[in-house]
Structure 1
Amino acid sequence: MARRFYTRLQRQLRQQGWRHTLASLYQRAQYRYRYLRDDVLFDKRYGVETRRIESAYLSQQQSDYLDSAEFYEPSRWRHFSRMLAHLSIQPSDFHFMDIGAGKGRVLMFADRAGFHQITGVELAPQLVETAQRNVQRYRQKTGSAAHFDIRCEDVAHFQVPAGNLLIYLYNPFRGELMQLFLDKLQQAQQGDRLIYVLYRNPACAELFAARRAVQCLVLNNEYGIYQVISTRR
């Protein structure tokens, strides 16, 4: 392994020079550090398994919108906390929902952030079982008193609950299914309730922008933050 690394390093030095090679090595070391800090140590601390990317399960699911679904990839606390910091809200006043909850990592983030009512919606039964097991272990480690609800449910049949909502999306689906989901949020918004969406990796930002009932609060390459407003008069 050391010999292969040394050979690759020599080749990179010849092709790119010292400056680009050192920059590349720094970026690689930074990535490995973040992976260790945000993924490995998180799982080890709480006795859970959330860091492994999964995609094979998609072929086993039944849904009219399966072509719109994306594979599981874990969120990281630094992104989640950065997004949440843009909103001046009291977490205990909101129902937190992760749509496409995967293995439940963000549900645990929500508890750490102070949310009391926490719901995960996930299509794949395999991931739901993993998420439930992870949350159970997390609660044993932390003594959390939050109410966790992890549902195996197709978003196409999802009913938006009442009350103030903070919804988290890590690019769980695209296209027609995202349009349908936005329809549901728009139809559900009425009165004085608050609905915010934290959208990590906003691949469908143009669909949000096309909605008069969806106001963009923040948008960059990493995430978008939106508020769903009522357009009824």
Structure 2
Amino acid sequence: MSNIAGKAYAMNVITPVRWYTAWLNKLFFWVALKRPSTLSGLQTLSLIHYARWVIIGRKQFPHLSPDQPKENLNYSYMLFFSNFNGSWDQYVDSFTFAIPGGLDLFWKWNVRYSKSVALTPFHNYIQYNQLETIHYYNAYPLATSNDVKSAKTVKDTLSDFNKTVEEGSDEEFLKRYHGVLRGLQHDLGAMHPTPIISMSAYQVEKRERWHAGQLDQEQGHV
């Protein structure tokens, strides 16, 4: 499934907006940028890698060649892009519970938007307007959003620690080293596949087994 690369899912949703109300969506986006607290519920969802909304006017679609016919569209369009961990249902439900008012504000003027509550009509709306991802590349398919944040924390902490390795006695070094390990306990862990898996994650696992010398042994027993 192209939408999935390892533990990450790529969602693309495009919904029509009446061209004469598109400016209202842009206004809501501007307010959200100026007042991030309006999306504070969204920022607490650790399963999200990123989420983005974009408005494309009915006369703003790319025109790449004089030979290309110009579109005569009745609507502007809102594009929603997001990468997240977990299942489709988990993500959409989490979005609904985290910022139901924000979702209604962003999609309010979109054609046939059903509101984020109740869940079933909202699910149907997203499914109807979702586009399948033809190609989705993930450099670290087994890393969740939290894994990426933890890796950055480990890197920054070790970089700071490395600046002090030549300071003090061996005993002081060991004390600082143990302190670093204790401080990073929540950020150290192995990345393992989940039930939501893809060929890219399978290839990573296969390559790891090959490096460990296990693959030849497994194939030898087949």
TM bin (shorter chain)? under 0.3
TM-score, normalised relative to structure 2? 0.25
Larger Cα-atom Rg: 2
If asked which structure has higher relative contact order (CA below 8 Å, sep 6+), I would say 2
